[in-house]
Amino acid sequence: MSAPSKSSPNTSPPSATSLSTSSLTASSDGFLLRGEPFRIISGAMHYFRVHPDQWADRLRKARLMGLNTVETYVPWNLHQPEPGSLALDGILDLPRYLRLARAEGLHVLLRPGPYICAEWDGGGLPSWLTADTGIRLRTSDPRFTDALDRYLDLLLPPLLPQLAANGGPVIAVQVENEYGAYGDDRAYLEHLAEAFRTRGVGELLFTCDQADPEHLAAGSLPGVLSTGTFGSRIPESLERLRAHRPEGPLMCAEFWIGWFDHWGEPHHVRDAADAAADLDRLLSAGASVNIYMFHGGTNFGFTNGANHDHAYEPIVTSYDYDAALTESGDPGPKYHAFREVIARHAPVPEEPAPAAGPKLPPQVVELVDRAPLLPHVSVLAEPVRVDADPVTMEELGRRAGYALYRTTLPVSGDGVLRFAGGVGDRAQVFVDGAPVGVLERERHEEALPVRVPRTGATLDVLVENMGGVNYGSRIGAPKGLLGPVTFDGIALHGWDCHPLALDTVDPVPFAPVADSSPEAGPVFHRGTFEVGAPADTFLSLPGWTKGQAWINGFHLGRYWNRGPQRTLYVPAPVLRPGTNELVLLELQATTEPRAHLTDTPDLGPVKP
């Protein structure tokens, strides 16, 4: 999404004197901000899930709801796509986001990881790191801490001016993230806390863990504030937190007011009155709170994560989360309910609550140009020749996106293709360009019966990375073809492997459609539409099956008729007055060559 920033930091680390005057401190029963009692009323809003031209609008709406603070994670994998690099521009311009928060009068809780979970690809850990299976992630293994230290050496200097001690909005910084659910390496947590301190972070440090005695014990550090994460059972959760730390502020660092969605399951919602009642219980107990999420946003591009407990479950493109602000930034039922609750406990601006933003009038987009992927794959990515068995996407130097594997079949006739180790995560198989089947990691599929029409027929396997696991021990699980491939026991060697980043679709050789009849995928489709005044809209694709969408080169993300999500959010800043371009990569087939722009989102049927 961004190119590495080569700019040098424009500030020196704060002096020891300035560090000692950190603005937020913990008293025996609460917080003090510059010596005065202060309660944190915060909401989560991840800058990397919101178009940067909309940051100011969302921050204003946070203040109008009654929040005095916002919280954000920091995704290591986006900020450092390659070792030694640092991306801090566009949607990753964290210093700008922090400056806008300060301008709006909001404080900031900064959660730089290194692991963030967040239903984010790989939990925020970079693939160049997790691809090394010898590294013990999130431990005091020097291979992990050395990589982390080199990253913090680059990340923290540009952020130091945004610390409260230097006049900025950041009043507290998190050490790791729900570490007690993962490990108990105290030396690692101590290393991380010291890494922040020695690089100039003098603000209050905190940890957060699920309100479970074992998790709190394993994830806490002496001298670092312990906070909890929970969405219900407020008295019980606060009691457990107080039992863990008899003195100090009580804080719910993630008050879960909704939930995320996997493909193939209903959309999750939580009743606004129920969530508001629990928020009132938290504030009535004198606790501080960070609402997760105040504004969820979108997993643009290939950034969604996945869970893998009993089965692999990828996250949808939308991160609406049934939050106080909808995915498109409109106040939802929780916004108004929470504003009323907060007003009972703290000042709320006298300005009226914001209204919903404008939407584009609905229209139909005709997709009149096409380009099939298989014959043009070399235009998008030069092949990497592998003489023996196919290699993973990581070994091809590509984590996100797709990989196309191509070889020839040595015999003809009916037989079984076997993929030792399976696929990561979804593979479409073609023989001489004709689709013969699909294999999915979540279904543990490793074999496919096929008919080979001739000796020397071309075998193509298009593998899609559906999102890196973001929680648990499977973070960094490889993508692509995960082992040897055989046809009726004959090993298939000599592969041309095309890593398809799809960072841009500019090279796609589109041509006008001569025949308007449907064409089996994978096929790129293109059309244009006119816009008067840009406004938010939603892309609806009835009759389409599965693929990716771009508008004016901006990668909206993944669509899939498996649901629950039925529309993709199109931020107004992506559009321009006049002619706009829509590109779809349809992987399978469509029944009609048109798309729809609608003024109403559809995130699918609600979970009962």
| Residue 504 backbone phi and psi in degrees, to 5 | -145, 150
| pLDDT, average across residues 338-346 | 98
> Hey, what are 33's tokens?
């901000």
DSSP one-letter string for 180-229: GGT---HHHHHHHHHHHHHTT--SEEEEEEES-HHHHHHH--TTSEEEEE
Buried b (16+ CB within 10 A) or exposed e, 503-521: eebeebeeeebeeeeeeeb
**Candidates 71, 119, 176, 254; catalytic one:** 254
pLDDT surpasses 50 at 276: yes
Q: List, for residues 484-529, the tens digit of each pLDDT value.
A: 999 999 999 999 999 999 999 999 999 999 877 777 889 999 999 9
Q: List, for residues 396-419, the tens digit of each pLDDT value.
A: 998 899 999 999 999 999 999 999
> Hey, what are 152's tokens?
């913090």
Tokens 């009692």 appear where? 37
Q: List, for residues 72-125, the tens digit of each pLDDT value.
A: 999 999 999 999 999 999 999 999 999 999 999 999 999 999 999 999 999 999
CA distance 24 to 170: 9
178 belongs to the catalytic site: yes
Report which of residues 421 and 538 the model is more confident about. Answer: 538
**Candidates 71, 176, 178, 586; catalytic one:** 178
- Please, what sign has the CA dihedral across residues 319, 321, 323, 326? positive
- Residue 7 has a pLDDT of 32
Cβ-contact 468, 475 below 8 angstroms: yes
pLDDT surpasses 50 at 16: no
CA distance 361 to 363: 6
Q: What percent of the chain has pLDDT over 90?
A: 92
- Residue 445 has a pLDDT of 86
| pLDDT, average across residues 425-444 | 94
> Hey, what are 388's tokens?
């023996």
**Closest alpha carbon to 69 in 196, 174, 172:** 172
Q: What is the DSSP letter of 288?
A: E
DSSP one-letter string for 35-88: TEEE--EEEEE-GGGS-GGGHHHHHHHHHHHT-SEEEEE--HHHH-SSTT----
| pLDDT, average across residues 541-562 | 98
pLDDT band at 22 (very low <50, low <70, confident <90, very high): low
pLDDT surpasses 90 at 3: no
Respond yes or no on whether the N-terminal peptide bond of residue 322 is cis (omega within 30° of 0): no
Distances (CA, A) of 41 to 210, 231, 288, 319: 19, 15, 6, 22
- Residue 10 has a pLDDT of 32
Q: Give the range among 18-27, 133-142, 213-222, 544-553 with minimum mean pLDDT.
A: 18-27
Buried b (16+ CB within 10 A) or exposed e, 125-138: bbbbbbbeeebebb
Distance between start and end Cα atoms, the chain: 37
Q: List, for residues 221-275, the tens digit of each pLDDT value.
A: 999 999 999 999 999 999 999 999 999 999 999 999 999 999 999 999 999 999 9
> Hey, what are 279's tokens?
């928020």
Three-class DSSP category at 406: strand
104 belongs to the catalytic site: no
Q: List, for residues 139-152, the tens digit of each pLDDT value.
A: 999 999 999 999 99
CA distance 315 to 305: 6
| pLDDT, average across residues 322-327 | 98
Respond yes or no on whether the N-terminal peptide bond of residue 484 is cis (omega within 30° of 0): no
CA distance 30 to 249: 4
Cβ-contact 600, 258 below 8 angstroms: no
> Hey, what are 403's tokens?
């990989």
Task: List Cβ neighbours of 169 (8 Å cut-off, separation of 6 or more).
Answer: 98, 101, 102, 106, 107, 108, 162
Bridge partner residues of 256 (DSSP): 292
CA distance 150 to 6: 15
Secondary structure, 3-state, 77-137 = HHHCCCCCCCCCCHHHCHHHHHHHHHHCCCEEEEECCCCCCCCEHHHHCCHHHHCCCCCCC
Total-model pTM: 0.95
Tokens 């905190």 appear where? 206
Write down the mean pLDDT value for the chain.
Answer: 94
Three-class DSSP category at 355: coil
Cβ-contact 229, 199 below 8 angstroms: no
